[in-house]
Amino acid sequence: MVAALGGLLFGYDTAVVSGAIGFLTEKFQMSAGMSGWAASSLLVGCMVGSAASGSVSDRFGRKPVLLACALLFAVSAVASAFASSVAALAWARLIGGVAIGAVSMLSPMYIAEIAPENMRGRLVGLYQLAIVIGILVVFLVNWLIQQHGTHAWNVESGWRWMFGSLVIPSGLFGVLLLFVPESPRWLFQAGRIEAAKGVLERLNGPIEAQRIVTTMGVPTEHAAAGELWAPQWRRPLLLGVALAVFSQISGINAVMYYAPEIFKATGGNTGSAFAQTIIIGVVNLVFTFVALVLVDRSGRRSLLLIGTAVQTASLALAGWYLGAPTPGLGVLVALVLFVAAFAASTGPITWIAISEIFPNRLRGRAMSVAVLCLWGADWVVTQTFPMLKEAAGPAAIFWIYAGCSLFCLVCLTLIMPETKNRSLEEIEASWRSGHG
């Protein structure tokens, strides 16, 4: 749960902009391009953090890097709250993005490296649960802050409180991290076999700990970057990148970052738009619990394919309603269905799969590649949403996202294997043998 708190900060910090963006646009008189940059500058930092954290954590360990991330979150929150220009805000958000990028790789990887195989899906799923809790909490915080003052106060100061509120969960994350152990699989790769065995005994008992240590073989040097492209690892690397990109081009974060602006486009006022956004957050949370119940029973593959099919249909429905003369509640219903499908499938399964499909000695660097691609795709979606909305209208955007989701469904049907109830070492052995 402590490691999963990184997900809470991830969700909180990425979604806080949804409440602030309208007030920021008015205060700084931002164009559509500037508005997209204010929201997406964070994602440039995410790409930097995800790219660097794999090799850094392979060298220094998972825990020290997570502690550094907690500090970066707090620094970003304070700097964002006191920003005096769009440029200052963008730099502050970029710092927070570095922390998010690193946490988005390290937290699920750490959980996967300590989890028994029969519970790994649910335990890594706690990370996604923490993300959606963070999103819901910040939606509520944004709504409370927005209700606190007048529109003029929100334009001048309300958004600063929205960004600054991240200091509290950042501090909590840092303090609690002091009490968790280092990853046993990192300890093993570092040659600290007795320390690794000690952690595994605390987690699994002495008999199971000995079995796991035996299956890990002997410590090896960390892989060179070129080994990622060895023939036996190309398929898991392609799968990890595909899952990462597919999770974003459905447009989920366009909904999470710009939900109030989408609902305003249907004719609602600011207050009702914020209230509808909270509904989206609640649905996101509830259906993440559905994923936690099903992922170790139904498996990753079937849940992912069903969820992606429902996402495609609901995005098309949202596009149809947004193109209607009077969208009404149809848009809310379609987006609720979309978020429910994503939360029960693509959202958690992406993090579960990319944390378990890579071999131990390559896991840090391989996850860095996959998560870097995830944040790159997220940046493209976030940066282009305001411009597409201005140029083509919201209906066209959701038709585009529906088409992307349909493409994802076809590809996943062809390349997604089942990994439930298999240890990390068994999955690695299957790639080596060419069976997947």
pLDDT of amino acid 268? 56
- 330 contacts: CB under 8 Å, gap ≥ 6: 317, 321, 324
Query: Which structure tokens are listed for 305?
Result: 């394919």
Burial class (CB in 10 A: 0-12, 13-18, 19+), 398: buried
Q: Which of 349, 358, 360, 376 is nearest to 101 (CA)?
A: 376
Count CB neighbours of 175 within 10 A. Answer: 12
What confidence score (pLDDT) does residue 11 get? 86
Contact in structure between 127 and 7 (CB atoms under 8 Å): yes
Which residue reads 């069903």 in tokens? 306
User: Mind listing the pLDDT tens digit of every residue in the chain (436 residues)?
Assistant: 888 899 899 888 877 887 887 788 888 887 777 776 776 788 889 889 988 888 888 889 999 999 999 999 999 999 999 988 888 888 998 999 999 999 988 998 899 888 887 888 888 888 888 888 888 888 889 888 988 888 889 888 888 999 999 999 999 999 999 999 999 888 888 888 889 889 889 888 888 888 888 877 666 655 565 677 777 788 898 999 999 999 999 888 788 767 666 776 665 555 566 677 778 888 888 998 999 889 888 889 999 999 999 999 999 998 888 887 776 678 888 888 999 999 999 989 998 999 888 887 788 888 889 989 988 898 888 778 877 877 877 788 889 999 999 999 999 999 898 888 888 888 888 888 766 6
SS (H, E, C) the chain: CCCCHHHHHHHHHHHCHHHHHHHHHHHHCCCHHHHHHHHHHHHHHHHHHHHHHHHHHHHHCHHHHHHHHHHHHHHHHHHHHCCCCHHHHHHHHHHHHHHHHHHHHHHHHHHHHHCCCCCHHHHHHHHHHHHHHHHHHHHHHHHHHHHHCCHHHHHHHHHHHHHHCCHHHHHHHHHHHCCCCCCHHHHHHCCCHHHHHHHHHHHHCHHHHHHHHHHCCCCCCCCCHHHHHCHHHHHHHHHHHHHHHHHHHCCHHHHHHHHHHHHHCCCCCHHHHHHHHHHHHHHHHHHHHHHHHHCCCCCHHHHHHHHHHHHHHHHHHHHHHHCCCCCCCHHHHHHHHHHHHHHHCHHHHHHHHHHHCCCHHHHHHHHHHHHHHHHHHHHHHHHHHHHHHHHHCHHHHHHHHHHHHHHHHHHHHHHCCCCCCCCHHHHHHHHHHCCC
Question: For the CA atoms of the chain, what is the radius of gyration?
Answer: 21
pTM (2 decimals)? 0.76
In this predicted model, what pLDDT tens digit does every residue of 263-302 receive, in sequence order? Answer: 766 655 555 666 777 788 888 889 989 998 898 888 899 9
pLDDT tens for residues 16-57?
A: 887 887 788 888 887 777 776 776 788 889 889 988 888 888
Q: How far apart are CA 46 and CA 365, in angstroms?
A: 15
Q: Which domains does the chain have, with CATH numbers?
A: 5-433 (1.20.1250.20)
CA distances from 141 to 138, 259, 261, 340 (A): 5, 15, 17, 22
